[in-house]
Structure 1
Amino acid sequence: MIDKKSILIINQSAPYGSSKARESLDVALTCSIFEMPVSLLFIGDGLYQLINNQSPDALSMKKHEAMLSALPMYDIENIYITEEDLESIGLAENDLAIPVTLIQRDAIASLIQQNDSVLTF
Protein backbone atom coordinates (compact mmCIF):
# COMPACT_ATOMS: atom_id res chain seq x y z
CA MET A 1 0.00 0.00 0.00
CA ILE A 2 1.32 3.42 -0.96
CA ASP A 3 1.13 6.21 1.61
CA LYS A 4 -0.70 9.23 0.27
CA LYS A 5 1.31 12.44 0.27
CA SER A 6 -0.23 15.13 2.44
CA ILE A 7 -0.56 18.70 1.23
CA LEU A 8 -0.94 22.00 3.04
CA ILE A 9 -2.45 24.84 1.06
CA ILE A 10 -1.68 28.27 2.48
CA ASN A 11 -4.22 30.90 1.51
CA GLN A 12 -2.91 34.43 1.92
CA SER A 13 -4.83 36.21 -0.86
CA ALA A 14 -8.02 38.21 -0.55
CA PRO A 15 -11.08 36.45 -1.96
CA TYR A 16 -11.74 38.89 -4.78
CA GLY A 17 -9.58 40.87 -7.18
CA SER A 18 -7.63 37.87 -8.45
CA SER A 19 -8.26 34.21 -9.14
CA LYS A 20 -5.85 32.93 -6.44
CA ALA A 21 -8.52 32.25 -3.80
CA ARG A 22 -10.71 30.21 -6.14
CA GLU A 23 -7.71 28.40 -7.60
CA SER A 24 -6.54 27.35 -4.14
CA LEU A 25 -9.92 25.79 -3.41
CA ASP A 26 -9.94 24.08 -6.82
CA VAL A 27 -6.52 22.58 -6.04
CA ALA A 28 -7.70 21.45 -2.60
CA LEU A 29 -10.77 19.70 -4.02
CA THR A 30 -8.77 18.10 -6.84
CA CYS A 31 -6.14 16.75 -4.43
CA SER A 32 -8.88 15.35 -2.25
CA ILE A 33 -10.44 13.54 -5.19
CA PHE A 34 -7.11 11.72 -5.52
CA GLU A 35 -7.34 10.86 -1.81
CA MET A 36 -4.49 13.12 -0.75
CA PRO A 37 -4.87 14.37 2.82
CA VAL A 38 -5.43 18.13 2.48
CA SER A 39 -5.08 20.83 5.12
CA LEU A 40 -5.86 24.50 4.58
CA LEU A 41 -4.27 27.44 6.37
CA PHE A 42 -5.77 30.90 5.96
CA ILE A 43 -3.45 33.74 6.99
CA GLY A 44 -3.33 37.49 6.46
CA ASP A 45 -5.69 38.66 3.71
CA GLY A 46 -6.61 35.02 3.07
CA LEU A 47 -8.74 35.12 6.19
CA TYR A 48 -11.20 37.37 4.33
CA GLN A 49 -12.11 34.33 2.20
CA LEU A 50 -13.84 32.81 5.23
CA ILE A 51 -16.12 35.70 6.19
CA ASN A 52 -19.77 34.68 6.22
CA ASN A 53 -22.44 36.32 3.99
CA GLN A 54 -20.21 38.05 1.47
CA SER A 55 -21.75 39.98 -1.43
CA PRO A 56 -19.34 39.91 -4.39
CA ASP A 57 -22.15 40.56 -6.89
CA ALA A 58 -20.95 44.13 -7.49
CA LEU A 59 -17.64 42.67 -8.66
CA SER A 60 -19.38 40.14 -10.92
CA MET A 61 -17.76 37.31 -8.97
CA LYS A 62 -19.15 34.21 -7.31
CA LYS A 63 -19.28 33.69 -3.56
CA HIS A 64 -16.73 31.37 -2.01
CA GLU A 65 -19.20 30.05 0.55
CA ALA A 66 -20.53 27.30 -1.74
CA MET A 67 -17.05 25.88 -2.32
CA LEU A 68 -16.13 26.29 1.33
CA SER A 69 -19.24 24.46 2.48
CA ALA A 70 -18.31 21.57 0.15
CA LEU A 71 -14.96 20.97 1.87
CA PRO A 72 -16.29 18.42 4.42
CA MET A 73 -17.85 16.38 1.58
CA TYR A 74 -14.33 16.06 0.18
CA ASP A 75 -12.94 15.05 3.59
CA ILE A 76 -11.15 18.38 3.98
CA GLU A 77 -11.64 19.11 7.63
CA ASN A 78 -8.24 20.43 8.74
CA ILE A 79 -8.81 24.15 8.27
CA TYR A 80 -6.60 26.45 10.28
CA ILE A 81 -6.40 30.16 11.03
CA THR A 82 -4.25 32.01 13.50
CA GLU A 83 -5.78 33.66 16.51
CA GLU A 84 -3.60 36.67 15.84
CA ASP A 85 -5.00 37.17 12.32
CA LEU A 86 -8.57 36.75 13.51
CA GLU A 87 -8.06 39.37 16.20
CA SER A 88 -6.21 41.75 13.88
CA ILE A 89 -9.19 42.10 11.56
CA GLY A 90 -11.66 42.31 14.43
CA LEU A 91 -13.60 39.13 13.78
CA ALA A 92 -14.82 36.25 15.92
CA GLU A 93 -15.12 32.59 14.92
CA ASN A 94 -18.90 32.95 14.49
CA ASP A 95 -18.25 35.52 11.71
CA LEU A 96 -16.76 32.76 9.58
CA ALA A 97 -18.63 30.66 7.02
CA ILE A 98 -17.09 27.34 8.12
CA PRO A 99 -15.68 25.80 11.30
CA VAL A 100 -11.94 26.31 11.76
CA THR A 101 -9.19 25.33 14.14
CA LEU A 102 -7.44 28.23 15.82
CA ILE A 103 -3.67 27.99 16.11
CA GLN A 104 -0.96 30.33 17.33
CA ARG A 105 1.20 31.98 14.67
CA ASP A 106 4.28 30.18 16.02
CA ALA A 107 2.60 26.82 15.25
CA ILE A 108 2.69 27.46 11.49
CA ALA A 109 6.23 26.08 11.10
CA SER A 110 5.17 22.83 12.75
CA LEU A 111 2.09 22.61 10.53
CA ILE A 112 4.28 23.03 7.44
CA GLN A 113 6.69 20.31 8.63
CA GLN A 114 3.81 17.87 9.14
CA ASN A 115 2.95 17.93 5.42
CA ASP A 116 4.79 16.49 2.43
CA SER A 117 3.97 19.40 0.12
CA VAL A 118 3.03 23.03 0.65
CA LEU A 119 1.39 25.33 -1.88
CA THR A 120 0.86 29.03 -1.31
CA PHE A 121 -1.77 31.15 -3.01
Structure 2
Amino acid sequence: MTQLAIVYRTVPHGNSKGREALDLTLLAASYEVETAVFFIADGIYQLLKNQQPGVIDSKDHIATYRALPMYDVEQIYICAESMQQRDIELTDLIIPAQPLEPEQLRQQLFQSKQVLTF
Protein backbone atom coordinates (compact mmCIF):
# COMPACT_ATOMS: atom_id res chain seq x y z
CA MET A 1 0.00 0.00 0.00
CA THR A 2 1.33 3.41 -0.97
CA GLN A 3 1.64 5.83 1.93
CA LEU A 4 1.04 9.01 -0.09
CA ALA A 5 -0.51 9.69 -3.49
CA ILE A 6 -0.07 13.12 -5.03
CA VAL A 7 -2.45 14.00 -7.85
CA TYR A 8 -1.50 16.68 -10.36
CA ARG A 9 -4.63 18.12 -12.03
CA THR A 10 -3.64 21.63 -13.12
CA VAL A 11 -1.52 23.21 -15.81
CA PRO A 12 2.12 23.82 -14.85
CA HIS A 13 2.30 27.59 -15.24
CA GLY A 14 0.15 30.53 -14.25
CA ASN A 15 -0.35 29.18 -10.73
CA SER A 16 1.85 27.59 -8.09
CA LYS A 17 0.02 24.30 -7.68
CA GLY A 18 2.35 22.27 -9.88
CA ARG A 19 5.47 23.55 -8.17
CA GLU A 20 3.94 23.03 -4.72
CA ALA A 21 2.97 19.45 -5.61
CA LEU A 22 6.47 18.76 -6.91
CA ASP A 23 8.07 20.24 -3.79
CA LEU A 24 5.82 18.08 -1.61
CA THR A 25 6.62 15.00 -3.68
CA LEU A 26 10.36 15.50 -3.27
CA LEU A 27 10.05 16.36 0.41
CA ALA A 28 7.95 13.29 1.21
CA ALA A 29 10.28 11.03 -0.74
CA SER A 30 13.33 12.52 1.01
CA TYR A 31 11.78 11.39 4.30
CA GLU A 32 11.36 7.92 2.78
CA VAL A 33 7.58 8.14 2.57
CA GLU A 34 6.48 5.79 -0.19
CA THR A 35 5.04 8.23 -2.71
CA ALA A 36 3.15 7.74 -5.97
CA VAL A 37 2.33 10.54 -8.38
CA PHE A 38 -0.66 10.73 -10.70
CA PHE A 39 -1.03 13.12 -13.64
CA ILE A 40 -4.61 13.52 -14.78
CA ALA A 41 -6.66 16.01 -16.80
CA ASP A 42 -4.62 19.19 -17.41
CA GLY A 43 -2.04 17.90 -14.93
CA ILE A 44 -0.49 15.87 -17.72
CA TYR A 45 0.88 19.13 -19.14
CA GLN A 46 3.27 19.16 -16.15
CA LEU A 47 5.31 16.49 -17.92
CA LEU A 48 5.52 17.94 -21.43
CA LYS A 49 8.93 18.49 -22.97
CA ASN A 50 10.06 21.82 -24.48
CA GLN A 51 7.98 24.16 -22.35
CA GLN A 52 8.84 27.86 -22.38
CA PRO A 53 7.53 29.32 -19.10
CA GLY A 54 9.71 32.42 -19.46
CA VAL A 55 7.33 33.67 -22.14
CA ILE A 56 4.73 34.28 -19.42
CA ASP A 57 7.30 35.28 -16.77
CA SER A 58 6.94 31.98 -14.94
CA LYS A 59 9.70 29.94 -13.34
CA ASP A 60 10.68 26.67 -14.97
CA HIS A 61 10.22 23.78 -12.55
CA ILE A 62 9.58 21.13 -15.19
CA ALA A 63 13.19 19.91 -15.39
CA THR A 64 13.00 19.05 -11.68
CA TYR A 65 10.72 16.11 -12.53
CA ARG A 66 13.85 14.34 -13.76
CA ALA A 67 14.93 14.10 -10.10
CA LEU A 68 12.00 11.85 -9.13
CA PRO A 69 13.92 8.59 -9.73
CA MET A 70 16.82 9.87 -7.60
CA TYR A 71 14.32 10.26 -4.75
CA ASP A 72 13.03 6.72 -5.35
CA VAL A 73 9.70 7.94 -6.70
CA GLU A 74 9.08 5.15 -9.16
CA GLN A 75 5.30 5.04 -9.20
CA ILE A 76 4.59 7.65 -11.85
CA TYR A 77 1.20 7.29 -13.48
CA ILE A 78 -0.50 9.28 -16.22
CA CYS A 79 -4.10 9.10 -17.36
CA ALA A 80 -4.26 7.43 -20.77
CA GLU A 81 -7.66 8.98 -21.47
CA SER A 82 -6.37 12.50 -20.69
CA MET A 83 -3.42 11.89 -23.01
CA GLN A 84 -5.70 10.75 -25.81
CA GLN A 85 -8.04 13.74 -25.36
CA ARG A 86 -5.08 16.14 -25.60
CA ASP A 87 -3.27 14.25 -28.39
CA ILE A 88 -0.19 13.65 -26.22
CA GLU A 89 2.11 10.67 -26.69
CA LEU A 90 4.48 9.07 -24.17
CA THR A 91 7.40 10.36 -26.27
CA ASP A 92 6.20 13.94 -25.55
CA LEU A 93 6.92 13.52 -21.83
CA ILE A 94 10.03 14.67 -19.98
CA ILE A 95 10.12 11.47 -17.88
CA PRO A 96 8.70 7.97 -18.31
CA ALA A 97 5.22 7.48 -16.89
CA GLN A 98 2.93 4.48 -16.84
CA PRO A 99 -0.33 5.20 -18.65
CA LEU A 100 -3.43 3.88 -16.89
CA GLU A 101 -7.08 3.96 -17.83
CA PRO A 102 -9.35 5.93 -15.44
CA GLU A 103 -10.56 2.81 -13.61
CA GLN A 104 -6.98 1.61 -13.09
CA LEU A 105 -6.08 5.05 -11.72
CA ARG A 106 -8.96 4.89 -9.26
CA GLN A 107 -7.82 1.47 -8.10
CA GLN A 108 -4.27 2.72 -7.55
CA LEU A 109 -5.50 5.77 -5.65
CA PHE A 110 -7.77 3.61 -3.51
CA GLN A 111 -4.69 1.68 -2.37
CA SER A 112 -3.07 4.82 -0.95
CA LYS A 113 -3.32 5.81 2.69
CA GLN A 114 -3.41 9.53 1.89
CA VAL A 115 -4.29 11.38 -1.31
CA LEU A 116 -3.45 15.03 -1.92
CA THR A 117 -4.69 16.82 -5.02
CA PHE A 118 -3.15 19.90 -6.61
Q: Report if TM-score (shorter chain) is over 0.5.
A: yes
Normalising by structure 1, we get a TM-score of: 0.92
Partners of 2:16 and 2:3 in 1: CA distance: 24
Normalising by structure 2, we get a TM-score of: 0.95
Alignment of 1:57-68 (within 5 A): 57-68=54-65
Alignment of 1:16-35 (within 5 A): 16-35=13-32
Task: Report runs of 4+ in structure 1 exceeding 6 Å deviation.
Answer: none
Q: Is the 8 A contact 1:7 1:36 kept in 2?
A: yes
Q: Is the 8 A contact 1:38 1:78 kept in 2?
A: yes
RMSD: 1.4
Matched residue count: 118
Partner of residue 45, structure 1: 42
**Structure with larger Rg:** 1
1:89 has 2:86 as partner: yes
Q: Is the 8 A contact 2:12 2:43 kept in 1?
A: yes
Partner of residue 56, structure 1: 53
Listed as ranges, the gaps of 5+ residues in structure 1 are none
